[in-house]
Amino acid sequence: MYIRILNYVLKFVCAFHLQCEYVDSIEFECKEGTFQVSLSAVMLQHALELPDSVQLPPCAVQHSSKTSFLIRNVSKLRTGFQWVVEQPFELSPVSGSLEPGGAQKVTVTFKPQKALVYQTEATCTFGDDNESIVCNSMPSMFSLAKYPYLQIISPGQEEDCGVLEFGRIAIGSSLEKHIEICNPSPVSNCVTSGILSLHKTKMPALMESVFQCDVQKGHVAPHSVLAVPVCFTPLTVDTTSVEYFSLTCPGALSKDLLKVTGSCIGPVVSLSSSVVDFGCVEEGGEATRVIHVINSSTVLAHYQFDMDPRGYGVFTVDQISGTIAANSSLTLHLRFRPHHSIAYHRRTACLILHREPLFLDLIGTCHSEQLKPAILCPRHLRVYRLNLLRGLTCYPPDILSAMLDEHKLQLDEKGGLVLQEVCVYECSHVCRFDPPIQV
């Protein structure tokens, strides 16, 4: 330090050991008298600019909220810092170093475990490597924690849960409807996957789910709703499916249930007649008949007849397979082309997708100049099935005729055989299955 007095320059050497303000004076004597020169010096000190308090957004229990603030190094020294704060607050970065005039963004995270009002003070220690100074004005941390609450808003409601009904849906189709997850509280809530989630309740191991919900986790802002799609894809006709979804979130005291239901409908197909009689056809000729396949449902029907698709059989159909639109019918042309002079009968199945098969009896008789067998009629089929039901078709025709002559059998009003008493024939060993109608 230099002091100029008139034409003299005086040099002073000062050594400072403490970081404080130094004040002193020097007294000079001259011919005119004495005078004093005041001396003062201020040491460079570490200084950080910090906020007085930090307010964090309200938060749900077992969730988190964040905010940030800046700290500035307002000194001319490189300054290191380190934070200390109590739970449930966390600061990042916890420590660091600032150049003169530099700034650092500090993030505050609030992770409450109970629904309380939280207030605490964070301590910032700063200085250099050899010494440190504790900040006298410690910033205060404020926040509020509440229990989260989510509610399912659905079109229907039962005693303990919401209800989403899909109604009657056609097999092979899908229907999507929406529910809403409402957050009426002032804190943000998360819907997460895992144990605490929007998930299905446990189902039997072999039961396949028909309801799908792609939203398994998400975020619901305060006083807002989240639209969640639920899709129903039925798999089995004439069944009603019921499943439950459970909605929970971390920290919530309760859970909300959603019941989803839906029914599956399939095609309703019938034939205009169960028997097609082609009558009597001369050998080498053919006969054609028409039958209608009726779909009386609102579902597209798929059908297929169990017949030779190449058309080599005695009985053929012009459209062996296809589809029938909803609430409509399809006209099929059947053809009878016999090759031998006999009576023909075929019971063919009409397979319906997702339904039990339908059966169609096709009958016809072929005559030639040499052979003219008895003409087969629908009444003969009814009598044959009636006798088959009564267990009488396994006997040869001659035995049945003998039983009729002996009045052990008689004909009912439908033309079927009725057994009057239980008879055991010594020739029962010749009993065999011999259908009276040739296929």
At 327-355, the pLDDT tens digits run 999 999 999 999 999 999 999 999 999 99
What's the pLDDT score for residue 11?
60
Q: Is 253 exposed, middle or buried (0-12, 13-18, 19+ CB in 10 A)?
A: exposed
At 395-426, the pLDDT tens digits run 888 898 888 888 888 888 888 888 775 444 43
Q: How far apart are CA 324 and CA 293, in angstroms?
A: 8
Residues 6+ apart with CB under 8 A from 23: 38, 39, 40
Measuring CA to CA, how many Å separate 177 from each of 38, 154, 227, 233, 240?
88, 10, 10, 12, 17
What's the pLDDT score for residue 42?
65
At 382-403, the pLDDT tens digits run 988 888 888 888 888 889 888 8
The CATH homologous superfamily to which domain 151-263 belongs is Immunoglobulins (2.60.40.10)
Q: Is 383 helix (H, G, I), strand (E, B) or coil?
A: helix
Q: Average the pLDDT over 43-60 and give the result.
A: 82
pTM, full prediction: 0.61
Q: Where are the domains of the chain?
A: 2-42, 48-146, 151-263, 269-376, 382-430
Same fold, 151-263 and 269-376: yes
Q: What CATH number should be reported for the domain whose range is 48-146?
A: 2.60.40.10
Q: Average the pLDDT over 257-268 and give the result.
A: 92
Of the spans 5-14, 96-105, 249-258, 359-368, which averages the highest pLDDT?
359-368
Residues 6+ apart with CB under 8 A from 98: 48, 71, 72, 73, 78, 79, 80, 81, 104
What's the pLDDT score for residue 438?
42
Tell me if the bond preceding 93 is cis, omega within 30° of 0. yes
Is domain 269-376 annotated with CATH 1.10.260.40?
A: no
Averaged pLDDT of the chain: 82
Q: How far apart are CA 109 and CA 426, in angstroms?
A: 100
Closest CA to 265 of 237, 241, 242, 240: 237
Query: Which has the higher per-residue pLDDT, 430 or 126?
Result: 126
Pairing of strands 256-265, 162-170: parallel
Is 190's pLDDT higher than 60? no
- How many Cβ atoms sit within 10 Å of the Cβ of residue 175? 15
* pLDDT band of 362, cuts 50, 70, 90: very high
Q: Which two tokens stand for residue 75?
A: 């000194």
Q: Give the angle subtended at the CA of 433 by the CAs of 385 and 422, to the nearest 5°.
A: 75
